Amino acid sequence: MEVIIVPDASAGGELIAEGIADLLQRKPDALLGVATGSTPLPIYDALTAKVRAGAVDASRARVAQLDEYVGLPAGHPESYRSTVLRQVVEPLGLSPDAFMGPDGSAEDVQAACLAYDQALADAGGVDLQILGIGTDGHIGFNEPCSSLASRTRIKTLTEQTRIDNARFFDDDIDQVPHHVITQGIGTILEARHLVLLATGEGKADAVAATVEGPVAALVPASALQLHPHATVVVDEAAASKLKLADYFRHTYANKPSWQGI
């Protein structure tokens, strides 16, 4: 696992966007796994700016959704399908056909979970998966004590996650669904490169447990320690509880230029 400490969220977004641009140069039809929420927005903004400036060609890129609420109508503005279309697909100028995600409004949700796992495999797998992290250490919607071998499935959200997400629903927790479809940790770990961005002091405990704590289902993001190519990008506030912060700064400052993100 590589840990990169950056000054702020904007710098983190620019760094990851540069890594995505390099990937698209090597593999123009790369499948990008995207996360929602406020944390990854600097990534999408920076990548969109590169596309509009002609610095990167994303026309053949494909996008895969990480998770979806169960029960929201497909066109609901806070469904993750709508969010990804609005924040990623449209700004990058991609065709809606380049987008894939689980069907949270399906009559048979369990079948929809199995179908999405299979669709990811049929697409050749995710090349780079962007991840955020919850204050309790969850990734995707794999809440604490999720199986580290889990596949795409239905999960019940913790009360803390619903509280955290109420800001997207007019601060009304009653509007936040109780259930979601999420890629499981086992599914996430199949991506070729995992990139987690965390910003703000509120994520500091989760980041420390993920990077320096034991691998444990209680902190689902700690499973990134098992991946051969995982990158954790954190701002100074989110890095504030890392015991090895100075070491991480030293290793990044002396990183070979050919190694890339």
Choosing from 14, 67, 103, 127, which is the catalytic residue?
Answer: 67
Q: Are 186 and 213 in contact, with CB atoms under 8 Å apart? A: no
Choosing from 14, 68, 117, 136, which is the catalytic residue?
Answer: 136
Choosing from 14, 68, 117, 143, which is the catalytic residue?
Answer: 143
Separation between Cα atoms, residue 100 and residue 120, nearest integer Å? 8
Q: Is 143 a catalytic residue?
A: yes
Separation between Cα atoms, residue 164 and residue 83, nearest integer Å? 17
Choosing from 68, 103, 127, 138, which is the catalytic residue?
Answer: 138
* Dihedral over Cα of 43, 248, 186, 128: its sign: positive
Q: Is 67 a catalytic residue?
A: yes
**Residues in CB range of 207: below 8 A, 6 or more apart:** 133, 198, 232, 234, 238, 239, 241, 242
Q: Is 170 a catalytic residue?
A: no
Beta bridge partners, 68, equal 181
End-to-end Cα distance, the chain: 11
- Paired sense of beta strands 62-65 and 99-100, if any: parallel
Q: Is 122 a catalytic residue?
A: no
Residues classed as catalytic: 67, 136, 138, 143
